[in-house]
Amino acid sequence: MAAGFSRGARASFIAAVGCTLGIVPHMIAAITGAAALLHTSATAFQTLKYLGVAYLLYMAWSTLRETGALAVETDTAPRSARKVIASGILVNILNPKLTIFFFAFLPQFVPAASPNAFLRMLELSAVFMLLTLVVFVGYGRFAAAIREHVISSPRVLTWMRRTFAGAFGALGARLAFTER
């Protein structure tokens, strides 16, 4: 949504692709069993968790320290697709709950004795990723559609910047106090 508000529909689509690609390592970890390590190793979970907390708090601080209203790009030099995708990937890679989610979710739909369990898990993961992409693109398109109404009010933009910073901070705090 932030990409849709600040840079428009194209950037929101690229950010959605990045966030969706950030699911891939978690999916692979769950399918290959590496998620069991995070589930059983408190140290591995805590390390990934605190990296995620640090990144979310960095995003909150960066958003808060911007001066004035939410930065809205109106020039012809948009942020590179590579940077937008990298940011989206980081958001999801540093979320240890996503691996645990896949670890808990996927096996429920694949019988233990299934000869094609690996392929079935890949199919389910692909469906999850496709649905995630569709939802993220929808959120971004909505944000881009109301962008002109929002950017015309500096007061609304300042409020949104603070809200985004608060949300990043709250997510970081919630993650910091997560046990498992």
pLDDT, tens digit, 9 for 90 and up, residues 134-149: 999 999 999 888 887 7
| pLDDT at residue 65 in the model | 82
CB 22 within 8 Å of CB 89: yes
Full domain range(s) for residue 73: 2-176
With a CB cutoff of 8 Å and minimum separation 6, the contacts of 114 are: 120
Query: What's the total number of domains in the chain?
Result: 1
What mean pLDDT is predicted for residues 43-63? 79
pLDDT band of 130, cuts 50, 70, 90? very high
For 108, other C-beta atoms within 10 Å of its C-beta total 7
Q: Name the token pair of 106.
A: 């996927």
pTM of the entire predicted model: 0.65
What mean pLDDT is predicted for residues 81-108? 79
> What is the Cβ-side half-sphere exposure of residue 143, based on CA atoms within 13 angstroms?
24
Alpha carbons 51 and 93: distance in angstroms, whole number:
10
The DSSP symbol for 121 reads H
| pLDDT at residue 67 in the model | 62
Phi, psi (5° rounding) for residue 66? Answer: -60, 140
- Give whichever of 30-44, 75-89, 91-105, 141-155 has the largest mean pLDDT: 141-155
pLDDT band of 38, cuts 50, 70, 90? low
**Which has the closest alpha carbon to 6: 140, 163, 172?**
140
**Which has the closest alpha carbon to 175: 167, 1, 164?**
167
H/E element, 176: helix 154-176
Q: How far is CA 132 from the centre of its chain?
A: 10
Q: How far is CA 10 from the centre of its chain?
A: 17
| pLDDT at residue 76 in the model | 44
